[in-house]
Chain A
Amino acid sequence: MTSVRRSPTSALRSLDSTQDLDIVAIVREHGPYVHRLLRRLGVAPADVDDAFQEVFVVVHRKLDSFQRKSSIRGWVYGICVRVGVRHRRRRAARQEVPGAVDELAGTAPTPEATFRTVEARRLLDSFLDKLDDDKRAVFVLYELEGMPMQDVAAMTNCALPTAYSRLRLAREVVFDAIRRFQTEKDFK
């Protein structure tokens, strides 16, 4: 085997998209990643559980209309993007900033999370927070979730060149944030 990277032509893709459209199975299979994706997309820690509920209520409601030519994962992630943006805007409209509860929710270690994991999450969030919704969605889906750019463009409802352009700009912003962070760290 030379590579295990998923590809659109992989026979496994059909497995993902045509089997077992039972909602509980979908929640079990994709739920943990949806939860993480919502956080990566910038949903406040205190809102992630609510956003998670919203995503799967939509999945449940629209399961009958799911086009099986695409992957369940891509379809569910597309819903995540829309729900995530809605939550971020709702919070922004309330002019709320993450407070003490959010901080706790965001950093309290789960049994799985080592200190290193929590610290990595906090740092990653701080870099991603520099991006607007559109760039953040493209960056997260492509770079962190490993989705093909065609799918990312479809999920974020933009043309392919626009998606690439957003990715390029997002990388500049994130890399710049990393450079600043490292400079500050070295300075201290």
Chain B
Amino acid sequence: MSDLRDDPSPEAAFLRDLVRAEEADLPSTDKMNELVARLSPAISRPPASASRAKLAISMAVVVVAVAGAWLSTSSSSGIDHENVSAPPSIAPVATVAAPAERAPTPAVVVEGAPSLPSIDVTALPTTTSSARPSRVVVPRSTACAGEVALLDQARAALGSGDAARALSLTREHAARCPSGAFTQERERIAIESLAKLGRLDEMRSRAQAFERNFPASPHLRRIERLVEKYRMR
């Protein structure tokens, strides 16, 4: 079956135009930063393997059971409730969902419980928010202020036929945002600008570099078409 791009039918041509226009509709840098920030809590710690997670859960169950048994024994044996003993098992109960390495070993709980010292409830430390980061720090390596506006200008210049200005703006982008989030978009604009300016050797070598650096890029198809178009010139 032939590709859509080889199909000569008017429907295929219409669809190709549509896809070409829609291809640029990618989330902005700000949007990506927001998504990464939302994602950060979930990806900032190493993933727990299934076996470790299972171990953590079973340990937590044991901790809860032992702590429950210990508490019921304490209350039935007439312990003064103003003076609440603070077995280490109480705090870990709250860490059931925590990573495996933080789960306490049952041995500590079982052996430690009977000989624990009593602590007055007022002497217990209050919880602080320092255990959890208050805000997620977005890695700044790829964020670049004004990147989107700069590329918008470049795109507009190219669209209006001013390829020289578009190329110059992509150079500016490369200098200001060497590891920006829209490097591929910049390269695409630069390659198209070079083609329009008739600097075909430069265009070809830059296209090859693009393929080398971004082999999975969705822009490749468009760049390939461009290279094909200028192949015989």
Interface, chain A (partner B; CB < 8 A): 1-6, 10, 12-13, 15-16, 23-24, 27-28, 30-33, 35-36, 49, 52-53, 56-57, 60-64, 71-73, 110-114, 116-121, 123-124, 127, 143-146, 164, 167-168, 171, 174-175, 178-179, 182
Contact = CB atoms under 8 A, between A and B. Distances in A.
B208 A32 contact: no
18 contacts: A3-B228, A4-B220, A4-B224, A5-B221, A5-B224, A15-B215, A28-B181, A36-B25, A62-B47, A71-B216, A112-B28, A117-B21, A120-B21, A144-B19, A174-B11, A174-B15, A175-B15, A182-B14
A111 B149 contact: yes
Contacts of A167: 1
A167 B232 CA distance: 33
Interface string B146-157: 001101100000
B79 interface: no
Contacts of A112: 24-26, 28, 148, 151-152
Contacts of A124: 18-19, 22
B24 A16 contact: no
A46 B28 CA distance: 17
Contacts of B204: 1
A4 B149 contact: no
B39 A27 contact: yes
Chain B contact residues: over half helix, strand or loop, or mixed?
A: helix
Given A35-B27, A116-B21, 20 more contacts: A4-B224, A33-B26, A35-B35, A56-B42, A56-B43, A62-B47, A63-B47, A71-B216, A72-B216, A110-B27, A111-B152, A117-B21, A120-B21, A121-B25, A124-B18, A167-B1, A168-B1, A171-B4, A174-B11, A175-B12
A168 B220 CA distance: 24
Looking at chain A's contact residues, the main secondary structure is helix
Contacts of B158: none
Contacts of A32: 26-27, 32, 181
A116 B156 CA distance: 13
Contacts of A64: 47, 49
Contacts of B228: 2-3
B181 A60 contact: no
B9 A175 contact: yes
Given A179-B11, A182-B14, A120 B26 contact: no
B159 to A, nearest CB: 9
Contacts of A60: 42-43, 47
Interface of B: 1, 3-4, 9, 11-12, 14-15, 17-19, 21-22, 24-28, 31-32, 35-36, 38-39, 42-43, 47, 49, 139, 142, 148-149, 151-152, 181, 204, 207-208, 210-212, 215-216, 218, 220-221, 223-224, 227-228, 231
A73 B216 contact: yes
A57 B39 contact: yes
B25 A110 contact: yes
Contacts of A171: 4
B141 to A, nearest CB: 8
A53 B42 contact: yes
